[in-house]
Structure 1
Amino acid sequence: MKKILHLIFGRFFVVAMAIILQVLWLCVVLWQLSYKFTYVNLLVRVIAIIVVLVIVNKWTNPANKLSWTFLILLSPIFGLMVYFLFGRSGLTKHTRERMDAVNRQVEALFQRDSAEEKGLEKESRSAYLQSSYIDKWAGFPLYQNTQTKYYSCGEEMFPDMLEALRGAKHFIFLEYFIIEEGYMFNTILDILEEKAKAGVDVRFIYDDVGSINSISFGYYKKLQERGIPCVTFNPFKPLISVVMNNRDHRKIFVVDGYIGFTGGINLADEYINKVKRFGYWKDTGVRIEGEAVWSLTAMFLEMWNYINRSTEDYSRFLPSVYREKEFTSDGFVQPYGDSPLDNENVGENIYLNIINRAKNYVYIFTPYLIIDHEMLICLSNAAKSGVDVRIVTPGVPDKKAVYLLTQSYYEPLLKNGVKIFQYTPGFIHAKCFVCDDEIATVGSVNLDYRSLFLHFECGVFMYRSKAVMQVKEDCLRTFEESEEMDVSFCRRRRLPVRMVQSLMRLFAPLL
């Protein structure tokens, strides 16, 4: 009962209902006008055709084009309203220019070492090409002189996060999609307050929509009252607006410029299994220490100064400024970010490149499997070519509709030789790829449309670092704990379920 009352009176429900009512009111007004006045009806249809032509000719995902075209042609008024709200990046030209200006200032401090690039090319032409893509199209360089450590669950990573915070002497930058008061977040918050009082530069960013059901409105003020500078990304307001569509889904944790954490782990108790929501919550993360942390620092500073409309001397946050010892190498490490500001789908392309270049195996963790045709064909072709392709999805869903949609992709993949496992102990929220004992990536990028095309994301690409084999070992353990799916599982679904899944597939890019 408490959960129902919290949902009904929660900020998300109130704001969402306000927006829905505004959309419905506008739709009713337009429907009445188009019914009474022929020229209004004609104008709406002309606009619908123009918008469809624009969508069809956009450099974007074909499945996305099909879904929006179908919806707009099926119901021009409603389809246009929904498209203008959710179908486009909500960032204005001015906003993009402002963010680009901040990016240029930070990226000017990136130092590229041709010796490192040549060293990687000598070891693996395939890995070098992947690294080159990240550098040229995402803007994040390759590093050595960086140590890596992989965590197979949140409760493994949390003590190391606390140790890093307690050892902070100069600055702490945190950027998260979800925060929630509880043991995990409150423990971190107490340390942040203590460090801020000691003169450490502490800054915090959280996404307003990601945390809308877990914290109160204006929660950032509570952190500010405790001496912790805090801002929210893209506040969710009860007004029709296109800017709500892009979210900050990153998980960035930086201490003193040379210690960093990222992955799928947010700052809430389920991520360390202090509370049980959907059985055992399996999530993963990676710790990097050394020169590569600068890329995570740069991502944070770009977002911070974009939100605050500020600028500063970024060079004082470089890893070399505060390091207490020489950095040592652990393979090649390349953090990367993905942004909806451009048409370059960095997160998806990194995944596609890993699959396409795999020779022996690709193991994948993902909480959602809502993929476009290109990803489906890529996974299928790899499996058909003899590559051992395995995907682990949740055994217990966090969102039942999304879970049903995820399962709708099983049959075509299974028929083509891809092995799919459902994580029996509970919900897997991890986002990991590992390939051929050489390459791995751990980050925040889900295999769904919103994560791949609309959100700000981040991850770490690694070649022959310690973490690569640690990811593989975790995958092998997880397969043992999971149930392998087969085609008969898909065919046992009742006809109404199949029909619902088929309809959901049509609108998958919109979910």
Structure 2
Amino acid sequence: MFFLKAHIQPNQVPTRRSHKKRLLKILTSRLFIVGVLILVQLFLLLFLLVKVGTMRYWISIVFNVVSILMVLYILTREDNPSFKISWIIVIMAVPLIGGVFYLIFGRKMHGRRMARQIESYTDALLHKDHGSLPQCSGNCQTLERLRENHYTLARQADYIYNVSGFELYQNTEAEYFPSGEQFFARLLEELRGAQKFILLEYFIVQHGKMWDSILKILENKRAHGVEVRILYDDVGCVATLPALYADYLRQKGFQVGVFNPFRPRLNAATNYRDHRKICVIDGNVGFTGGINLADEYINQKEKYGHWKDTAVLLRGEAVQSLTEMFLELWQFTCHESLSLSDFLPTRSHSCAGFVQPYGDSPLDNFNLAENVYMQILNHAKNYVYITTPYLILDNEMINALCLAAQSGIDVRIITPHVPDKWYVHMVTRSHYSQLLRAGIRIFEYTPGFIHAKMFVSDDSTAIVGTTNVDFRSFYLHFECGVAFYLSPMVSKVKEDFLRTQNICEEITLEKERAVKAPIRILRSLLRAFAPLM
């Protein structure tokens, strides 16, 4: 059996036997076993370093000198200042040990190797059958049309294209889903209509009503000759899928990739995760947003109160960008060389406004997703509304938020009231006082957990995607989003924000001042190490 389902009656009292089964399941899970093996390696490394450091007095002096040199080295690097400060604290607190940990986890050596491999596959993908692919002139013409309507938005679109290569489109319809339930219903409908291929790329997949319903359709489509590729992140699914689940899916006739497998070894590359949520059907229909393939996202299972999430559907030419993102990581993961011309859209749809899907990689020197958010803040004239499950800010984002609010822009942020990770939520709340003093309004979603990642500004631009406002999304995850310019989608995102705000609790400076001193101290302590979480 690849998975077990436990059926517990609502009023059934858990027995000692059921507790033992649950404990046994935890102790034999891959997450627990791999975690223990990594902790053993950490313990042995610490033991060795401490043992060596206490052998001779002069060795201790050497350790301190090496730590100082390591700090000087970190200061010269082009990393984010918050990231550097966190590592400097660790190194100075535990000389040499902190330095060794920085060499293992802090640098991007493994990331550079991964980046070269992905780039080689991507170059081959985009240049293969080059004559059959759309040329840049189409993107330039679309940018020019946007520039004629709104110069500032054209600068944003130009930046995304110049940094990432993802083009701006017009001939694309879009649909907005303000809840996981609405997204799920439309996803099933579109999957049933697949004729050629289905591409699925998700951070989390878990058996339940949502995935089982999707899997049933995929099996039916595969039986009728539809090609199905499934790519999921191993760390995202380590607690939700069995270790051999990819083989189980392959036996059903699907092509399956497991991104960056979670192995029991100290390796900084483990930090790089595929946090994207993408579904492409026949090249003509694409979905993305915050919603993974698990029951809490459609409120079939309650984990942290009511789960609020959002997604978008694209139909037409812009789906090509979502396809490119999928194929980029698929080729790297599965070592399969593909031709983009086999996956291109075959339909276009006239629509109002402009659409620009884009992907962000942690392996380059461009913080694309964060910079897109900051450009919206810097160019706003009236308002910027934001939803995010996590608010773990670097200095640049804090400055952009506060500068916008202090310049008279109506900046509002919705975060969860019921957290999924208590320590991350404490870091989120640690920023409240500074933001409130700058004039930003903060709301917590009292029904439960808000997982939506959205920006909307000035009735002219909106972004719906997978990128949280935190260090992991900005620096360690593969992410994606869709920017809408002068599109009807902008008003839909704004309306959903305002509806959601009406059922939130507004956080005030008075409420923040009433927080007890021990909680404030703990928040500050956790915030100091936020870039390393």
Letter in 2 for 1:482: C
Q: Does 1:49 align with 2:49?
A: no
Residue in structure 2 matching 1:344, options 366, 369, 372: 366
Do 2:125 and 2:338's aligned partners in 1 also have CA atoms closer than 8 Å? no
C-alpha distance in structure 2 between counterparts of 1:330 and 1:85, whole Å = 49
Q: Does 1:111 align with 2:135?
A: yes
Q: Does 1:67 align with 2:89?
A: no
Compared CA separation, residues 264 and 110, structure 1 to 2 (3 A): farther
Q: How far did residue 55 of structure 1 move?
A: 1.9
C-alpha distance in structure 1 between counterparts of 2:79 and 2:237, whole Å = 29
Q: How far did residue 413 of structure 1 move?
A: 0.2
C-alpha distance in structure 2 between counterparts of 1:367 and 1:197, whole Å = 39
1:198-247 deviation line (CA, Å, top 9, x unaligned): 11111000000011111111211111111111111011111222221100
TM-score (normalised: structure 2): 0.92
Do 2:112 and 2:363's aligned partners in 1 also have CA atoms closer than 8 Å? no
C-alpha distance in structure 2 between counterparts of 1:104 and 1:257, whole Å = 20
Q: How far did residue 95 of structure 1 move?
A: 2.9
Q: How far did residue 118 of structure 1 move?
A: 0.6
The residue that corresponds to 2:260 in the other structure is 234
C-alpha distance in structure 1 between counterparts of 2:105 and 2:309, whole Å = 29
Do 2:232 and 2:258's aligned partners in 1 also have CA atoms closer than 8 Å? yes
Letter in 2 for 1:111: Q
1:419-457 deviation line (CA, Å, top 9, x unaligned): 000001110000000001110000000011011111100
Compute the RMSD of aligned alpha carbons.
1.6
Q: Does 1:503 align with 2:503?
A: no
Compared CA separation, residues 4 and 58, structure 1 to 2 (3 A): farther
C-alpha distance in structure 1 between counterparts of 2:74 and 2:302, whole Å = 43
Q: Does 1:379 align with 2:379?
A: no
Q: Does 1:25 align with 2:47?
A: no
Residue in structure 1 matching 2:466, options 431, 434, 444: 444
TM-score (normalised: structure 1): 0.96
What are the residue-to-residue correspondences of 1:209-228 with 2, within 5 Å?
Answer: 209-228=235-254
Q: How far did residue 328 of structure 1 move?
A: 1.5
Residue in structure 2 matching 1:89, options 108, 121, 136: 108
Q: Does 1:488 align with 2:510?
A: yes
The residue that corresponds to 1:462 in the other structure is 484
1:160-199 deviation line (CA, Å, top 9, x unaligned): 1111111000110000000000000011111111111211
The number of residue pairs the alignment matches comes to 507
Letter in 1 for 2:135: Q
C-alpha distance in structure 1 between counterparts of 2:108 and 2:24, whole Å = 33
C-alpha distance in structure 1 between counterparts of 2:59 and 2:234, whole Å = 38
C-alpha distance in structure 2 between counterparts of 1:220 and 1:291, whole Å = 31
Letter in 2 for 1:335: P
Q: Does 1:425 align with 2:447?
A: yes
Among all aligned residue pairs of Structure 1 and Structure 2, give the percentage whose two residues are the same amino acid. Answer: 46
Compared CA separation, residues 102 and 32, structure 1 to 2 (3 A): same
Letter in 2 for 1:307: T
Compared CA separation, residues 352 and 258, structure 1 to 2 (3 A): same
Structure 2: tracts of 5 or more residues without a match = 1-18, 128-132
C-alpha distance in structure 2 between counterparts of 1:5 and 1:387, whole Å = 54
Structure 1: tracts of 5 or more residues without a match = none
What are the residue-to-residue correspondences of 1:346-425 with 2, within 5 Å?
Answer: 346-425=368-447
What are the residue-to-residue correspondences of 1:265-304 with 2, within 5 Å?
Answer: 265-304=291-330
**283-292 or 38-47, larger mean C-alpha shift:** 38-47
C-alpha distance in structure 2 between counterparts of 1:132 and 1:53, whole Å = 37
**411-420 or 101-110, larger mean C-alpha shift:** 101-110
Residue in structure 1 matching 2:287, options 261, 285, 303: 261
The residue that corresponds to 2:155 in the other structure is 129
Q: How far did residue 111 of structure 1 move?
A: 3.3
Letter in 2 for 1:12: L
C-alpha distance in structure 2 between counterparts of 1:442 and 1:352, whole Å = 15
Do 1:138 and 1:337's aligned partners in 2 also have CA atoms closer than 8 Å? yes
C-alpha distance in structure 2 between counterparts of 1:47 and 1:168, whole Å = 60
Do 1:90 and 1:244's aligned partners in 2 also have CA atoms closer than 8 Å? no
The residue that corresponds to 1:329 in the other structure is 351
Letter in 2 for 1:247: R
The residue that corresponds to 2:121 in the other structure is 102
Letter in 2 for 1:396: V
C-alpha distance in structure 2 between counterparts of 1:219 and 1:44, whole Å = 46
